[in-house]
């Protein structure tokens, strides 16, 4: 990451600018017909989802340009949809976004490292994620992070089925 980028924990005042980042980052998914919640969620939803776990934001010159939330345990809504999310000691990756102009610099990878180290420190033994089946580039990204497909779900109101992926911690707890 460049020297002017900094990472810190989410604060309530970040909800509006984080919503703007999410809309900008997820616009390409919306344009592809994938109505992820983050395509058009309101500020209160952003705040609730961020506070539903541990949320990091990346700042560049006072602007939020990246974010990831790690939820432990996974949300109640997700737990209703899949037994995978009901396992003890399981964390979940949510609201991953990087500004379109800053892609491919390892910002998401850095947030993912922070998220999984935090989860391990909290006693999580594995981490899950879900994403749209048709978003094959994202399924591939999560595979490259060590996740494997374990289930398929359908979130109410979504245009797509979601793949549920799981990543056990390595022997070093990471």
Ligand X SMILES: CC(C)(COP(=O)(O)OP(=O)(O)OC[C@H]1O[C@@H](n2cnc3c(N)ncnc32)[C@H](O)[C@@H]1OP(=O)(O)O)[C@@H](O)C(=O)NCCC(=O)NCCS
Judged by CB, which is closer to ligand X: 29, or 127? 29
> Considering only residues 1, 7, 125, 141, which one is a binding residue for ligand X as defined by CB under 6 A?
141
The CA-CA-CA angle for residues 146, 127, 14, to 5°, reads: 110
Judged by CB, which is closer to ligand X: 122, or 136? 136
DSSP structure class, residue 40: T
The CA-CA-CA angle for residues 103, 161, 145, to 5°, reads: 40
Query: What is the distance between the alpha carbons of residues 74 and 45, in angstroms, rounded to a whole number?
Result: 16
- Tell whether residue 3 is a contact of ligand X (CB under 6 A): no
Query: What is the distance between the alpha carbons of residues 93 and 61, in angstroms, rounded to a whole number?
Result: 26
- Smallest gap from residue 19 Cβ to ligand X (A): 14
- Tell whether residue 174 is a contact of ligand X (CB under 6 A): no
Query: In this chain, which stretch among 11-19, 84-92, 95-103, 114-122 interacts with ligand X, using CB under 6 A?
Result: 95-103
**The tokens 């209703």 sit on which residue?**
80
**The tokens 């947030």 sit on which residue?**
111
- Smallest gap from residue 139 Cβ to ligand X (A): 9
- Smallest gap from residue 102 Cβ to ligand X (A): 7
- Segments in the chain forming alpha helices (H): 15-31, 43-51, 76-81, 107-121, 136-144
Judged by CB, which is closer to ligand X: 117, or 123? 117
> Considering only residues 107, 127, 164, 165, which one is a binding residue for ligand X as defined by CB under 6 A?
107
> Considering only residues 33, 77, 106, 168, which one is a binding residue for ligand X as defined by CB under 6 A?
106
Structure tokens at 174: 């990471």
Work out the widest C-alpha separation in the chain, in whole angstroms: 42
Judged by CB, which is closer to ligand X: 45, or 123? 45
List residues near ligand X by CB under 6 A.
25-26, 29, 96-98, 103-109, 131, 138, 141, 144
């Amino acid at each position: 990451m460049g020297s002017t980028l900094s990472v810190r924990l989410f604060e309530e005042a970040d909800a509006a600018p984080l919503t703007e980042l999410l809309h900008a980052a997820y616009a390409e998914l919306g344009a592809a017909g994938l109505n992820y919640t983050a395509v058009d969620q309101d500020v209160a939803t952003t705040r609730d989802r961020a506070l539903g776990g541990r949320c990091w934001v990346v700042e560049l010159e006072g602007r939020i340009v990246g974010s990831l939330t790690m939820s432990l345990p996974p949300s109640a809504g997700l737990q209703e949809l899949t037994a995978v999310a009901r396992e003890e000691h399981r964390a979940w990756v949510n609201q991953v976004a990087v500004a379109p102009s800053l892609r491919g610099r390892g910002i998401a990878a850095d947030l993912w490292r922070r998220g999984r180290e935090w989860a391990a420190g909290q006693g999580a033994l594995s981490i899950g994620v879900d994403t749209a089946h048709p978003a094959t580039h994202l399924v591939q990204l999560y595979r490259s992070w060590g996740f494997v497909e374990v289930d398929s779900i359908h979130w109410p109101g979504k245009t797509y089925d979601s793949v549920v992926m799981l990543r056990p911690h390595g022997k070093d707890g990471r």
